[in-house]
A and B are shown apart, each in its own frame.
Chain A
Amino acid sequence: MPAVSKGDGMRGLAVFISDIRNCKSKEAEIKRINKELANIRSKFKGDKLLFIFLLGHDIDFGHMEAVNLLSSNKYTEKQIGYLFISVLVNSNSELIRLINNAIKNDLSSRNPTFMCLALHCIANVGSREMAEAFASEIPRILVAGDTMDSVKQSAALCLLRLYKTSPDLVLMGEWTSRVVHLLNDQHMGVVTAAISLITCLSQKNPMSSRPCVFSLQIVSSASTDLQDYTYYFVPAPWLSCKLLRLLQCRLVECLETILNKAQEPPKSKKVQHSNAKNAILFEAISLIIHYDSEPNLLVRACNQLGQFLQHRETNLRYLALESMCTLASSEFSHEAVKTHIETVINALKTERDVSVRQRAADLLYAMCDRSNAKQIVAEMLSYLETADYSIREEMVLKVAILAEKYAVDYSWYVDTILNLIRIAGDYVSEEVWYRVIQIVINRDDVQGYAAKTVFEALQAPACHENMVKVGGYILGEFGNLIAGDPRSSPLVQFNLLHSKFHLCSVPTRALLLSAYIKFINLFPETKVTIQEVLRCDSQIRNSDVELQQRAVEYLKLSSIASTDVLATVLEEMPPFPERESSILAKLKKKKGPGAVSVTELDDSKREAGELNGGGERAAETASTPSPSADLLGIRSSAPMSAAPAAAGSLLVDVFSEVGPAAPAAAAAAVNNDVNPILLFLVTFKLALSLSRFVCKNNGVLFENQLLQIGIKSEYRQNLGRMYLFYGNKTSVQFASFSTTRLCSLTLCPQLNVQSKPVEPLVEGGAQIQQVLNIECLTDFSDAPLLNIKFRYGGALQNLTLKLPVTINKFFQPTEMASQDFFQRWKQLSQPQQEAQKIFKANHGMDTEVIKAKLLGLGSALLDNVDPNPENYVCAGVIQTKGQQVGCLLRLEPNAQAQMYRLTLRCSKESVSKRLCELLSEQF
């Protein structure tokens, strides 16, 4: 054992640690620590304090003393000081400036040990202040010729850390190309450290080198040195092409060698040997999958993984299952993956480790297609009976998705979902049973079968509440299709449902009550029985308001309404509009981005489209109020309560509402897959960028490292057209690019936005265009949202933006003389027609800028109207489909106080308010 120096401080520490270890109880430990803390306060000892902190006790003093240790000349003290800082001080401490000073001294000390300590400290804390102080210094140390190897290593990784925390502060420069040369360093440690830095730089910055083509980079970056080899401003094109081709064949060759090596007998029996070897193999396989262009390599990779599936090392089986998941999505290897289905099913059944079973379930999901869907779904269902509770919900979602996606005949689909509810009813979320109902309603050919099957399922002595919900709903709609059979006559159906009633929760009971009233319409012969049930005290005097109200209203409805009215009100539900499966959205949310590939999404969308035929009809029904709307007393209460409830929460039992308004509310609620709170947050965050576009129509709407979205728009009367330009800033193509518009419930009837789908592929450096047609139906205050999804590299990118469509875009300028203006101004004198705001100037009060902004607003800027020449007045008409809203505006700047007073008078009060809000953010 090498000598561990034990200075005075160290001996004290050892004694202290022994004491702590000898403490019999937690109380004794705390007592001993408090004693020591008092001791330390009197005489600062960094190391002991550190030990106490590492035990998990809070330390709120001593930071300053530790900073003092940094400037000590004693190595021990300096070292402990740095350790203390890097463990205890978090990146926003106010001591950072003092620490930075000490670090600066050590960096310039030219003592490699001190320099390394300082670099480690920067990397450990890695705050923005540190990046500001050292971002320019470290690259210099990194590429300086006389820097020691160990310092180079630390500097490379330290720079990497700063680049990750504050990429804007680390400026690319001459050093970037010199860093690439570190890859040629003789010292393997330097190469290892440098490659991490270079990989990160090249991922985030397409201009800098990519490690695979760094030799090419040398050619293209140092163009000044290549004078004679530069061919018409292209640096060494022949050499570059050759290099690229060389890389291409070297790469395939390299990958083949690695695959071959996997077949060689192991050189050692140690697990470290096989782990290290297989680590390289798995990295190679993930590269093969990433390139996805060499069928031969893909199939070989798949076979290699197939061998691992039966390996005795659990780790390898786990990793093989995981890698095969990605391999399953490649068209070249999908079939090869499918050949392992039996092994994977076996893994699902026999693996001892739940996380391995989870991977097996993932792989089955990934390898599923039309040919094996029935087998896989059956296996997953039978696994569900014994599955671990932790993965049941996800399994249920997956089964539901596969069943829907690959349903050839819908009776199989209905069977599967009902089985799912039977086996794992507790884990079947609303989305799953909503979906089965949507599909049954949209498909005529499966309704009879569905009614028969739920009827049979409900006969089980104990059935899950979700089954009762689906049963109640389907029998209420389609019970008539099986009523011909005496074994399932209307009364038998009703009695069966009602036998479950008392065991159910309030929402299910409410749903059942709605099913009963539907029964009265479907089967007049059940009317007396059902009325009796509704009339009994437990219903009509139920302590739950909702149940009581339904019982009372349904009873009244069934006794006073004529058959015709009843038939209209209780008509069969119209088909649901086409949309993305909400189950898929839920699974995605559960697994995080990237878990469900976009291609799957698209597939299921297409499938969903097939399933939900006739979506248009639903929209029509929803928007046209029924002619019988006012005939019934009850309509005033039931549908009114339905609409706000549906808007507020997804979980309301929206399906069981009566009347034609209900489907609309239901559809809206289910359609609103976006979590409302999330929507609000996103909206809030984007409100700032939106205000930039109030007074202009063109510009850059959004930009990050991958994507730039430009916007150009024009408006005429109540119509507008918006061109969106999506630019790919990277050199890699975006796959599965798609956009979806999201309108909030309030906005849908106010603004009509139509768009064509965009092309799914955006090549690197390319730009695609999308046109949106906008029609303003009535005045509005929300902005429509646009959701953009695409796949970059392996990762799914998801982004929601507010489209800058504001009410002022539909302004028509109106010119008028001074007296006209004031006459109209007086006409709009009711208090609610006026909106006024006094606010502080956010920008300079330059006349020309203000004029430009007011013109950009869209109204006419009227000269010589206001008696005070400092003031601005504008007039215009906002054109909506339904009406025209006259608007007058007056802006009074007060240059001394740097304030404005803004007054708006419009013929519609909501417009005054909205315009006032919009404009007050502009000046």
Chain B
Amino acid sequence: MMRFLLLFSRQGKLRLQKWYTPLSEREKKKIIRDMTTMVLARQPRTCNFLHWKDLKIIYKRYASLYFCLGVESEENELLGLEVIHRYVELLDKYFGNVCELDIIFNFEKAYFILDEFLMSGEIQETSKQTINRCIENSDMLQEDYNNEWYEVELFG
């Protein structure tokens, strides 16, 4: 089972946090601090896996952004790496050439996409097409509701 996913920049600024077990704010902050210091201190071209307490930490850098996944010890490291990559692909497909700014400005979309992909720390859906269709549908819903809302205002 996956325990958490963190996205942070090279400067250690947190861009996204997702927790799959209940933790207090203090515990979360401690994990975030530990992860950023540990991962940012790694030399280039070293391996992508670390041990931290009883968890395996899998991290990967995409451009300026670090993706850091904490999984339980029986999980498969390589597959974890591909979980990260699939998430990047999903973001890429939605935003088109995704960059850090897309995630900053549309952080709620990044969360929605992640929720379609992972749930309760397990894989929910791996098909890129299915996930994209879901997100597009909910975008449509937003449009509809927004239009409806403006209409009401017009009449009001």
How many residues of A sit at the interface, in one of the four size bands? 35 or more
Expressed in whole angstroms, the minimum distance between the Cβ of B99 and any Cβ of chain A is: 12
In the bound assembly, the distance between CA atoms of A127 and B48 in angstroms comes to 33
Inter-chain contact B145/A282, CB cutoff 8 Å: no
Expressed in whole angstroms, the minimum distance between the Cβ of B129 and any Cβ of chain A is: 11
Inter-chain contact B54/A5, CB cutoff 8 Å: no
Q: With A90-B22, A91-B22 in contact, is A193–B122 under 8 Å at CB?
A: yes
What 1/0 flags go to A264-286 for Cβ under 8 Å of B?
00000000100110110011000
What 1/0 flags go to A1-41 for Cβ under 8 Å of B?
11111010000001001000100000000000000000000
Inter-chain contact A153/B124, CB cutoff 8 Å: yes
Contacts of B48 in A (CB 8 A): 314-315
Inter-chain contact B78/A275, CB cutoff 8 Å: yes
How many residues of B sit at the interface, in one of the four size bands? 35 or more
Interface: B94 (CB within 8 A): yes
Interface: A160 (CB within 8 A): yes
The residue of chain A having its C-beta at the shortest distance from the C-beta of B28 within the complex is: A90
Interface: A56 (CB within 8 A): yes
Interface: A408 (CB within 8 A): no
B108 contacts which of A50, A164, A275 (Cβ < 8 Å)?
A: A50
Inter-chain contact A79/B22, CB cutoff 8 Å: no
The residue of chain B having its C-beta at the shortest distance from the C-beta of A122 within the complex is: B120
Interface: B95 (CB within 8 A): yes
In the bound assembly, the distance between CA atoms of A153 and B81 in angstroms comes to 23
Interface: B62 (CB within 8 A): no
Interface of chain A residues 144 through 163 with chain B (CB within 8 A): 150, 153-154, 157-158, 160-161
The residue of chain A having its C-beta at the shortest distance from the C-beta of B108 within the complex is: A83
Q: With A192-B126, A272-B85, A315-B78 in contact, is A75–B145 under 8 Å at CB?
A: yes
A353 contacts which of B47, B112, B127, B134 (Cβ < 8 Å)?
A: B47
Inter-chain contact B49/A2, CB cutoff 8 Å: no
Expressed in whole angstroms, the minimum distance between the Cβ of A5 and any Cβ of chain B is: 5
Contacts of B37 in A (CB 8 A): none
What 1/0 flags go to A167-209 for Cβ under 8 Å of B?
0000000000000000000001100110010000000000000
Inter-chain contact B120/A353, CB cutoff 8 Å: no
What 1/0 flags go to B80-121 for Cβ under 8 Å of A?
011001000000001110000000111111011001000111
Q: With A120-B115, A318-B49 in contact, is A74–B143 under 8 Å at CB?
A: no
In the bound assembly, the distance between CA atoms of A79 and B136 in angstroms comes to 14
Inter-chain contact A153/B125, CB cutoff 8 Å: yes
In the bound assembly, the distance between CA atoms of A54 and B13 in angstroms comes to 10
The residue of chain B having its C-beta at the shortest distance from the C-beta of A5 within the complex is: B142
Contacts of B78 in A (CB 8 A): 275-276, 278-279, 282, 315, 319
In the bound assembly, the distance between CA atoms of A113 and B111 in angstroms comes to 16
Q: With A79-B112, A113-B141, A188-B127 in contact, is A120–B119 under 8 Å at CB?
A: yes
Interface: B46 (CB within 8 A): yes
Interface of chain A residues 314 through 333 with chain B (CB within 8 A): 314-315, 317-319
In the bound assembly, the distance between CA atoms of A853 and B104 in angstroms comes to 68
In the bound assembly, the distance between CA atoms of A430 and B119 in angstroms comes to 47
What 1/0 flags go to A108-138 for Cβ under 8 Å of B?
0000010000001001011100000000000
Q: With A3-B143, A352-B46 in contact, is A21–B104 under 8 Å at CB?
A: yes
Contacts of A120 in B (CB 8 A): 115, 119
Interface of chain B residues 1 through 54 with chain A (CB within 8 A): 1, 14-17, 20, 22-25, 43, 45-51, 53-54
Inter-chain contact A158/B119, CB cutoff 8 Å: yes
The residue of chain A having its C-beta at the shortest distance from the C-beta of B95 within the complex is: A1
The residue of chain A having its C-beta at the shortest distance from the C-beta of B29 within the complex is: A56
Inter-chain contact A76/B142, CB cutoff 8 Å: yes
Instruction: Name A's interface SS.
Output: helix
Inter-chain contact B120/A3, CB cutoff 8 Å: no
In the bound assembly, the distance between CA atoms of A153 and B127 in angstroms comes to 13
Expressed in whole angstroms, the minimum distance between the Cβ of B92 and any Cβ of chain A is: 11
Inter-chain contact B146/A2, CB cutoff 8 Å: no
In the bound assembly, the distance between CA atoms of A186 and B79 in angstroms comes to 23
Inter-chain contact B137/A113, CB cutoff 8 Å: yes
Interface: A882 (CB within 8 A): no
B94 contacts which of A2, A58, A126 (Cβ < 8 Å)?
A: A2
Inter-chain contact B124/A189, CB cutoff 8 Å: yes
What 1/0 flags go to A85-114 for Cβ under 8 Å of B?
001001100000000000000000000010
Inter-chain contact B125/A189, CB cutoff 8 Å: yes
Inter-chain contact B46/A353, CB cutoff 8 Å: yes
In the bound assembly, the distance between CA atoms of A55 and B141 in angstroms comes to 28
What 1/0 flags go to A338-372 for Cβ under 8 Å of B?
00000000000000110110000000000000000
Interface: A80 (CB within 8 A): yes
Contacts of A50 in B (CB 8 A): 107-108
Q: With A154-B124, A157-B120, A196-B122 in contact, is A76–B85 under 8 Å at CB?
A: no
Contacts of A123 in B (CB 8 A): 119-120
The residue of chain A having its C-beta at the shortest distance from the C-beta of B122 within the complex is: A196
Inter-chain contact A150/B134, CB cutoff 8 Å: yes
Q: With A150-B134, A272-B82 in contact, is A592–B54 under 8 Å at CB?
A: yes
B126 contacts which of A74, A164, A189 (Cβ < 8 Å)?
A: A189
Q: With A91-B22, A275-B78, A315-B81 in contact, is A356–B119 under 8 Å at CB?
A: no
The residue of chain B having its C-beta at the shortest distance from the C-beta of A76 within the complex is: B142
Q: With A161-B120, A275-B81 in contact, is A355–B46 under 8 Å at CB?
A: yes
Contacts of B106 in A (CB 8 A): 4
Inter-chain contact A2/B139, CB cutoff 8 Å: yes
Inter-chain contact B142/A353, CB cutoff 8 Å: no
Expressed in whole angstroms, the minimum distance between the Cβ of A711 and any Cβ of chain B is: 32
In the bound assembly, the distance between CA atoms of A352 and B44 in angstroms comes to 10
A90 contacts which of B24, B82, B142 (Cβ < 8 Å)?
A: B24
Expressed in whole angstroms, the minimum distance between the Cβ of B57 and any Cβ of chain A is: 10
In the bound assembly, the distance between CA atoms of A766 and B127 in angstroms comes to 45
Inter-chain contact B79/A276, CB cutoff 8 Å: yes
Interface: A578 (CB within 8 A): no
Contacts of B23 in A (CB 8 A): 90
In the bound assembly, the distance between CA atoms of A123 and B106 in angstroms comes to 23
Inter-chain contact A315/B17, CB cutoff 8 Å: no
Contacts of B81 in A (CB 8 A): 275, 315
The residue of chain B having its C-beta at the shortest distance from the C-beta of A354 within the complex is: B46
Contacts of B53 in A (CB 8 A): 592
Inter-chain contact A193/B124, CB cutoff 8 Å: yes
In the bound assembly, the distance between CA atoms of A356 and B47 in angstroms comes to 8
The residue of chain B having its C-beta at the shortest distance from the C-beta of A274 within the complex is: B78
27 residue pairs of the A-B complex, CB under 8 angstroms, read A2-B94, A7-B146, A51-B107, A54-B17, A74-B145, A79-B142, A113-B138, A113-B141, A120-B115, A126-B22, A126-B120, A153-B119, A160-B120, A161-B119, A161-B120, A164-B120, A196-B120, A272-B85, A275-B78, A275-B81, A275-B82, A276-B79, A279-B76, A279-B82, A283-B76, A315-B48, A317-B47
The 7 closest A-B pairs by CB, nearest first: A161-B120, A279-B78, A353-B46, A196-B122, A279-B79, A314-B47, A157-B119
Contacts A79-B112, A275-B81, A353-B46 known; 19 new A-B pairs at CB < 8 A: A3-B139, A5-B139, A5-B146, A21-B104, A50-B107, A51-B107, A90-B23, A90-B24, A164-B1, A188-B127, A189-B125, A193-B125, A272-B82, A275-B82, A276-B82, A282-B77, A314-B48, A315-B49, A355-B51
Chain B positions within 8 Å of A, measured between CB atoms, are 1, 14-17, 20, 22-25, 43, 45-51, 53-54, 76-79, 81-82, 85, 94-96, 104-109, 111-112, 115, 119-127, 130, 134, 136-139, 141-146, 149
